[in-house]
Amino acid sequence: MLNPIMRLLKALMRNKSLEELTVEACIQRGMKVGENCHGLTSSTIDYAHCWLIEIGDNVTFAPQVYLLAHDASTKRELDYTKIAKIKIDDNVFIGARALIMPGVTIGKKSIVAAGSIVTKSVPEGSVVGGNPARVLAKTEEYLEKHRYNMAKSKIYDDSWTIGQNITPAMCNEMSKDLDNGLGYVK
């Protein structure tokens, strides 16, 4: 009975993709991660070149961000893969399913929109989005727009979140409130 189980476990281990390796394993291999980073465990990190990735303090990753320090598009014809560092400075937000390519630096206090493909460095204090990502606004302009919107929008404290056990009645109320607009939740 033990032999079939061991064979199954070995087969599963062989099929483990590089995407499934942990953040801790990448740090052990040389990836640098600052303090107070959130969401990195739901990202896909280029384990094969993770030591080329540097992440600053107070960085937030939304789900399914990709950090690729290599680009194998040259491999077939040139027999070599392009590699370069990725540097993410302090106080950066990276939206869901964004792809950060090799050679990119994301400047301090920047925001990368969801679904963006970042192929060039992002200036400090910029909001970027698109494929390829381009500067859409300055971070401060973007935040000022939302401060203005918050003054005339419905605001919800953290009791309106799953983490604080939002009730079904509160869910319905929020849904009705937002039928014709947007709101902000803590």
| Distance from C-alpha of 38 to C-alpha of 103, rounded to nearest angstrom | 23
- Of 38, 49, 70, 146, which residue is the catalytic one? 70
128 forms beta bridges with 112, 135
The maximal CA–CA distance of the chain, rounded, in angstroms, is 66
> Token pair 């896909």 is at which residue?
44
Per the annotation, the verdict on 49 as an active-site residue is no
Measured at the CA of 116, the angle between CA 132 and CA 122, to 5 degrees, comes to 70
> Token pair 């947007």 is at which residue?
182
- Contact criterion met (CB below 8 Å) for 71 and 52: no
Question: Looking at the annotation, which residues are catalytic?
Answer: 70
